[in-house]
């Protein structure tokens, strides 16, 4: 059974029963922390030159690129994961 739950007021107790309210600050904090960890991992992967892990990170980033309409990065990631040879140059800005 576990320890009894503690609420600071009756309003908090009623709020946990339905779980209809959404804590946007907590959600933002969790998302920011997660993205910070992902950024740290990406930086470490690039510094180590770990190609297999870099492909894994691109695979995980593909849904985010599609959801945020980053079509350039989505196409580049698709080509990378498909095994096409990609050449980056200074003219690929748009």
Q: Is 8 a domain residue?
A: no
Residues in contact with 78: Cβ distance below 8 Å, sequence separation at least 6, in sequence order: 62
Within the chain, strands assigned E span none
Higher pLDDT, 88 or 8: 8
Q: Is the pLDDT of residue 43 over 90?
A: yes
| Number of structural domains in the chain | 1
Q: Is 46 a domain residue?
A: yes
Which residues form the domain of 51? 22-82
Q: Is 16 a domain residue?
A: no
pLDDT band at 47 (very low <50, low <70, confident <90, very high): very high
**Global model pTM greater than 0.85:** no
Q: Is 71 a domain residue?
A: yes
Higher pLDDT, 87 or 68: 68
- Judge contact between 26 and 48, C-beta under 8 A: no
Average pLDDT over residues 6-26: 70
Residues in contact with 65: Cβ distance below 8 Å, sequence separation at least 6, in sequence order: 71, 73, 74, 77
């Amino acid at each position: 059974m576990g320890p009894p739950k503690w609420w600071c007021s009756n309003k908090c107790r009623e709020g946990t029963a339905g779980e209809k309210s959404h804590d946007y600050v907590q959600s933002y904090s969790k998302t920011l922390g997660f993205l910070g960890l992902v950024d740290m991992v990406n930086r470490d992967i690039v510094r180590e030159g770990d190609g297999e892990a870099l492909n894994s990170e691109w695979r995980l980033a593909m849904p985010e690129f599609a959801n945020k309409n980053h079509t350039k990065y989505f196409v580049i990631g698709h080509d990378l994961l498909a095994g096409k040879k990609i050449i980056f140059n200074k003219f690929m800005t748009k």
